[in-house]
Amino acid sequence: MSGSGSFQRVAIIGLGLLGGSLGLALREHLPAVATTGYDRDPATRQRAAERGLVGAVCETAAEAVAEADLVVLCVPVGAMAEAARDIAHALPAGAIISDVGSSKRSVQKALAEALPDHICIPAHPVAGTEQSGPEAGFASLFEGRWCILTPPEGAPAEATDRLSSLWQTLGAKVEIMDADHHDLVLAVTSHIPHLIAYTIVGTASDMEDVTRSEVIKYSAGGFRDFTRIAASDPVMWRDVFLNNRDAVLEMLGRFTEDLTALQRAIRSGDGETLHDLFSRTRAIRRSIIDEGQDDASPDFGRDH
């Protein structure tokens, strides 16, 4: 990462888990890059300054981007359009705009509309935890994780290359794909898992014949895993479902079909269908571990 291709001044708009982790990762891997940041919540700005998430926390988004050659929007996907409009008048002419949102078609459209004169390369680092806010970020969040770039048609390859290099320097692996394909893939690897986790935790909370205390006590039977995902940021996830509606509904339809088939197998006592599926699903876990996308320790390495 040196020479004319690298960024000198990166502005981060939104200083929660992703924005904060990006700032810390830049400081660790590229200490020469100047970072500025802004968050619309004053308390978050203050905490971000205390933790040193970026070199300078600014009082306005316009101030943060005024000298940037890369701006990364780290706000919920439903807030991208407004965040882009807020900086439009203050952006340097050559600045590249990117983001970290979990859906890409709607973000690509929002950025193109708000910033027609700028190069916008949407991005999605597939990384995170269930925590959020300015306390949650850490520099190694992106290490070994994939970052998907979805450059719109006609975007200059050089801009995509520069952004790819940056994410690789922060420890990520980079893949380029079409925004629509991104939205379909992430619907199944991220959005539907979150939706069904939120659902089962809600179902368990609302029962009358099983108490909440019982749900908590016996959660080690599997339920507790789902509560981690269902503790994720509500605004971020509301926006994901509203902004990736078509792909989510498509994948949800397939999931429901498959669940209905298992329901029928249980009702009719068809153990063979159950055993066949339960045997097939082990292989994917092994591949995920083999490719370094999860810990091989039993129970995620929880302390027993």
Binding segment (CB under 8 A) for its own copies, from list 1-9, 67-75, 149-157, 253-261? 253-261
Q: If DSSP states are collapsed to H, E and C, what string results for 165-189?
A: HHHHHCCCEEEECCHHHHHHHHHHH
**Is position 82 an interface residue for its own copies (rule: CB under 8 A)?**
no
Binding segment (CB under 8 A) for its own copies, from list 91-99, 107-115, 154-162, 221-229? 221-229
**Is position 208 an interface residue for its own copies (rule: CB under 8 A)?**
no
What value does the CA radius of gyration of the chain take, rounded to a whole number of Å? Answer: 21
Q: How distant, in Å, are the alpha carbons of 45, 138, 201, 203 from that of 135? A: 11, 9, 25, 30
Type of residue numbered 195: L
Binding segment (CB under 8 A) for its own copies, from list 8-16, 30-38, 155-163, 229-237? 229-237
What is the footprint of its own copies within residues 83-142 (CB under 8 A)?
Answer: 102, 126-131, 136, 138, 140-141
Question: Minimum distance between the CB of residue 37 and its own copies, rounded to whole angstroms?
Answer: 21
Say which residues have a Cβ less than 8 Å from residue 227's Cβ, sequence separation at least 6. Answer: 197, 201, 219
**Is position 216 an interface residue for its own copies (rule: CB under 8 A)?**
yes
**Is position 81 an interface residue for its own copies (rule: CB under 8 A)?**
no
Binding segment (CB under 8 A) for its own copies, from list 31-39, 92-100, 152-160, 278-286? 278-286
> How many helices and strands, by DSSP H and E, does the chain display?
13, 9
**Is position 204 an interface residue for its own copies (rule: CB under 8 A)?**
yes
DSSP code string of 270-282 = -HHHHHHHHHHHH
**Is position 9 an interface residue for its own copies (rule: CB under 8 A)?**
no
**Is position 267 an interface residue for its own copies (rule: CB under 8 A)?**
yes
**Is position 229 an interface residue for its own copies (rule: CB under 8 A)?**
yes
Tokens representing 295? 């810990």
Question: Minimum distance between the CB of residue 62 and its own copies, rounded to whole angstroms?
Answer: 28
Distance between CA atoms of residues 151 and 257, nearest Å: 34
**Is position 185 an interface residue for its own copies (rule: CB under 8 A)?**
yes
**Is position 232 an interface residue for its own copies (rule: CB under 8 A)?**
yes
H/E stretch holding 19 = helix 17-29
Q: CB nearer to its own copies: give 71 or 148.
A: 148
Closest among 15, 68, 74 to 41, alpha carbons compared: 15
**Is position 153 an interface residue for its own copies (rule: CB under 8 A)?**
no
